[in-house]
Amino acid sequence: MHKLLDLHPEVASALAGGRPVVALESTIISHGMPWPHNAETALAVEAEVRDHGAVPATVAIIDGRLKAGLAREEIERLGRGGGQVVKASRRDIPVLVARAGTGATTVAATMAIAALAGIRVFATGGIGGVHRGAEVSFDISADLQELARTSVAVVCAGAKSILDLRLTLEYLETHGVPVVGYRTDRLPAFFTRDSGFGVDVRIDEPQEVARVMKAKWDLGLEGGLVVANPIPVEHALPRERVDRAIEQALAEAQAHGISGKAATPFLLGRVNALTGGDSLAGNIQLVLNNARLAGAVAVAYAALA
């Protein structure tokens, strides 16, 4: 085990015994939802993973230590801290470790730490991607580079259309990242089930997702997979409403000159505020839905490995 990494005892024993573990990210806690819904949701997501036969490992950096598996108080600390907590992507990891800092890990940083711990399955809400206007701003999430290089399957509800989803799919194709639609041919767009774009391949059973993961990594084809799991029908939001909120959020970001790592949290916060309570409820439900699928994939993968 790496000397800078602390595994929660339950996570350590599951990994040692070859039992299923699901990594969970923490930027979604500090920057993705308001307190106290963020910590409540994080705990509910852990319970959902457990109910589906796997051990949850929420990832963060706490006082300079990489963590796979958090105590309840640590989750509450990240939730209460909200926007004050450093949003930690891959490049922030060494700085936080050297300064004994605390950070909520993005998809990219969570994948890196999960891989270090030996965890192959990760559940979240949505991944980062190529931002609209990236041909000028160059804003492409480090999540995509991480998917290109780090061997972890990321179960998500696609990505929010604050991004340019067409360019995001192109980027993933260039970097050899399979984009799997779980029981769908369409790429979901977080609050909605169909972004208007297709996926690379449709897979209907967790066992087959696990076989694809194993084949990829047994062949030495390092890198991640996107497992896109649409929000349950009954929790999906009307597309026009989401689109309107996104357009307004993008216009506000431009008017305020928001860029760099602040862009995504700003856009997410504004879309949440503009769509109100419905989007928070949908957000919570889709993360729980992803936790269930990730649990099932981790169970299937552990049976193969």
Rg of the chain over all Cα atoms, to the nearest angstrom: 18
Which CB atom, from 128 or from 282, has the smaller least distance to ligand PSU? 128
User: What six digits make up the tokens of 161?
Assistant: 């259309």
Minimal distance in Å, beta carbon 299 to ligand PSU? 25
| Positive/negative CA dihedral, 89, 18, 73, 295 | positive
- DSSP per-residue codes, 44-101: HHHHHHHHTT-EEEEEEEETTEEEES--HHHHHHHHHHGGGSEEE-GGGHHHHHHTT-
Residues binding ligand PSU: number (CB under 6 A): 19
Which CB atom, from 52 or from 261, has the smaller least distance to ligand PSU? 261
Q: Does residue 168 touch ligand PSU according to CB under 6 A? A: no
With CB cut-offs between 5 and 8 Å by kind, which of Mn ion, ligand PSU, none does residue 89 bind?
ligand PSU
Specify the 3-state DSSP secondary structure of 227.
Answer: strand
Q: Does residue 106 touch ligand PSU according to CB under 6 A? A: yes
Catalytic residue among 25, 48, 74, 76: 25
Which CB atom, from 11 or from 156, has the smaller least distance to Mn ion? 156
Judged by CB under 6 A, the chain residues 18 through 77 that form the site for ligand PSU are 25, 27-28, 31-32
Half-sphere exposure of residue 19, counting CA atoms within 13 Å on the CB side? 15
Whether 160 is a known active-site residue: answer yes
Q: CA separation (Å) from 53 to 57, 168, 275, 295?
A: 13, 32, 34, 6
Q: Does residue 160 touch ligand PSU according to CB under 6 A? A: yes
Letters for 121-160 (x = contact with Mn ion by CB under 5 A, - = none) are ------------------x---------------------
Letters for 203-242 (x = contact with ligand PSU by CB under 6 A, - = none) are ----------------------------------------
Specify the 3-state DSSP secondary structure of 217.
Answer: helix
| Positive/negative CA dihedral, 252, 256, 106, 134 | positive
Whether 25 is a known active-site residue: answer yes
Which positions lie near ligand PSU, rule CB under 6 A? 25, 27-28, 31-32, 89, 106-107, 125-126, 128, 141-143, 160, 190, 261, 264, 268
